[in-house]
Structure 1
Amino acid sequence: MTAEPSWTGVFSHREIERTYAMLTVLEEEADAGPDRHFGLWHGADDPASVEEATGRLTERVLSRLGAARGSRVLDVGCGNGRPAVRLAQTSGASVVGIDTDDRALRAAAAYAQQLGLGHAVRFQHADALRPPFEDASFDAALAFESTPHFDVAELYGVLARVLRPGGRLVVETPYVRGRTTRELLDRIGPYLSLLNAVSLDPPHVHLAAARQAGLHITELSDLTESVRGSSSRLLARLEKAGTRLTDTLGAEQAGRLLAAFSGWAEAPEVGAILMTFTRTEH
């Protein structure tokens, strides 16, 4: 039997820094907004802007954490820290965001300080697969479109370890619907490389990994129809900002960016899921 082709990659610290620089260009030059994840739209005719739609998804994901004043939450792959800061701002929880991108972490810390939340949100450089935290030290954990950067079996094991019994894990992630074919990887591979992604595991892989780690699924929502159009809307902004992107990135890099987003935006096989898990009591 021939195995399905898979996407794998190992990326250096410098490559991650370059990716963050690219995402900053998207925010500044293409009006992509600060929330670098899918947006949530209520149908094809929803007039919401990218900023509004990504804000909606942020709120939906954070609401699943059940965070409250006095609780401690870990944000894995926190990036520029917007969801972590939003969580601290709205719930009163203490939030720790970890990432390996120092540039993103500096931006996250500056944003928290700007809003007067530096006391409530802490950002630090850490490998999510080797986090410097004691067992059962968090009430909840969040992986907001960060699982594609990891082997999920290893990641779920680590997150279960740092969660207290009864603690929640919330995961929102893109995934490949159906078979992963070579033709599909040819189309979306450039985008995965751009974002330093390792895999796009389907739901059953997440569920099996979580179950093995001692995590019980309490909610699974397929968001595919609601987030559909996120990439095409961003692609339209990128194309509109083509001259500015070329001036900022150079013709070769700008062309690579547009081609990568085009392949991703035109791939109906890519979906999104939102899952909530609870660590078992024993």
Structure 2
Amino acid sequence: MANLDEISSSPQTVLESQDEVRIVGQYYDDKTARLVRKYGPGPRIHYHVGYYPSSETPLNAHDATPDAIRRSIRLHQEGLLRYAAKIWGAEHRLSGRILDVGCGLGGGSLFWAQEYGADVTAVTNAPEHAPIVEGFAQESGVGGKVRTLVCDAMHLPSDGGPFDAAVAIESSGYFNRPQWFERLARVLRPGASVCIEEVFTTRPHGADVWAEYFYTKPATVLDYAEAAKSAGFELVDEADATSETSPFWDESAAWTKAVLDSDSSLSAVDRRQLRISLMANQALGTEWRAGGLRLGFLRFELK
């Protein structure tokens, strides 16, 4: 997931050419330190929304310090993966050889390796992220179970397969979905799962709000299902967690405001970016609650 707190522009184009794919890789390389600041220190650094059970008493983020808010965000990001693991049956579907496509700084890759014993190929198009992921894997004691692969998701090499599953946590919005599913059909074994957690659009305004701040191509669940079916996959499981993830935007906005209020060392450029980010977080939270964006978990099987 692209983080609003690190975005200083609002790109409108979708990614189709190799030049644009390289731009995204460089974009993430350039912002690594800021990702670590908000979601670190590691080794399991996640780059996606969090899951907030309805039975839980929320943090009073408006009166909390940036560190306290960051700890809550990290806790609930881990909670999202644990929820995904439960509904995807990770103990038998994500415990073998898996692809973590769009792995970010490797938080999910480490999670699947540490919690379920998976042998993970962590796929990224940001070259500078690969040694960071490898370092975190060594630090976590799973250096032999996590390897990095720097490549475009639409050109996954077939020499490492067949894989038992592929996982994409808020990364598939960057892909050409028909090409991606076609490529996955060549590197996964029959019966393998493709597990996707993503932000889906339900109306045009929701798509606009999401796309204005991310290098991504928002789509509907139906768009995914049609692309998958054409490549030989069937949608077998679907779960909605929009309401359980909406508090993420409140905490993200609160973290941004707390940093603005407490960090006197910020440059003028940093302050401007954070103010833009604050407005964007608030806009996304509003659209989330209004029903224009949907957070869903999909699982496809290769026939």
Normalised to the residue count of structure 1, the TM-score between the two structures is: 0.84
The Cα offsets for residues 199-252 of structure 1, whole Å up to 9 and x where unpaired, read as 111111111111111111221001111111212211111111115383395333
- What is the CA–CA distance in structure 2 between the aligned matches of 1:187 and 1:32, rounded to whole Å? 30
2:147 aligns to what?
A: 122
Write out per-residue CA displacement over residues 43-75 of structure 1, whole angstroms, 9 at most, x where no aligned residue: 285336222211111122234243466x21111
Deviation for aligned residue 1:31: 7.2
SS in 2 for 1:204: helix
Match of 1:250, SS state, is helix
**Structure 2 residue aligned with 1:250, among 261, 270, 273?**
270
- Which structure 2 residues correspond to residues 111-190 of structure 1 after superposition, within 5 A? 111-134=136-159, 137-177=162-202, 179-181=203-205, 184=206, 187-190=209-212
2:79 to 51, 56, 60: 56
The answer to whether structure 1 residue 230 and structure 2 residue 231 are counterparts is no
Larger displacement relative to structure 2 (257-266 or 115-124): 257-266
Match 1:13 to one of 18, 22, 35: 22
- Pairwise mapping of residues 39-50 of structure 1 onto structure 2 (< 5 A)? 39-43=50-54, 46-47=57-58, 49-50=72-73
Q: After the TM superposition, which of the residue ranges 220-229 and 130-139 deviates more from structure 2?
A: 130-139
User: Which secondary structure does the structure 2 equivalent of 1:46 belong to?
Assistant: coil
- Measured in 1, the distance between the counterparts of 2:287 and 2:32 equals 21
Higher fraction of helix: 2
Q: Tell me how far apart the structure 2 counterparts of residues 30 and 246 of structure 1 sit (CA, whole Å).
A: 18
1:200 paired residue among 205, 208, 218: 218
Residue in structure 1 matched with residue 287 of structure 2 by the alignment: 267
* Secondary structure at 1:116 match in 2: coil
Q: 1:13 to 1:254 in 2, by over 3 A?
A: farther
Unpaired stretches in structure 2, ≥5 consecutive residues: 1-11, 60-71
1:4 aligned partner: none
28-37 or 222-231, which deviates more = 28-37
Q: Which runs of 5+ in 1 are unaligned?
A: 1-6
Which secondary structure does the structure 2 equivalent of 1:241 belong to? helix
CA gap 1:260/1:23 in 2 versus in 1, 3 angstroms: farther
- Alpha carbons 2:154, 2:176 under 8 Å: kept: no
Find the counterpart in structure 2 of residue 99 from structure 1. 124
8 Å CA contact retained: 1:172, 1:273 = yes
1:89 and 2:114 matched? yes
| Aligned equivalents of 2:128, 2:38: Cα separation in 1 | 18
Shift of 1:98: 0.7
Q: Any idea what SS the aligned residue of 1:169 has?
A: strand
Are 2:213 and 1:213 aligned? no
TM-score (norm 2): 0.78
Structure 2 SS opposite 1:271 = strand
Assess if the C-alpha contact under 8 Å between 1:174 and 1:272 holds in 2. yes
Distance in 1 between residues matched to 2:269 and 2:149, nearest whole Å: 29
Q: Distance in 1 between matches of 2:162 and 2:31?
A: 34
> Between Structure 1 and Structure 2, how many residues are aligned?
266
CA contact (8 A) 1:30 1:238 kept: no
1-side partners of 2:40 and 2:248: how far apart?
14
- One-letter amino acid of the structure 2 residue matched with residue 279 of structure 1: L
Kept in 2, the 8 Å contact 1:81–1:108? The answer is yes
**Identical aligned pairs, as a percentage?**
23
Do the aligned partners of 1:190 and 1:260 also contact (CA within 8 Å) in 2?
no
Does residue 108 of structure 1 match 2:133?
yes
- Over aligned residue pairs, what C-alpha RMSD do you find? 2.6
Secondary structure class of the residue paired with 1:167: strand
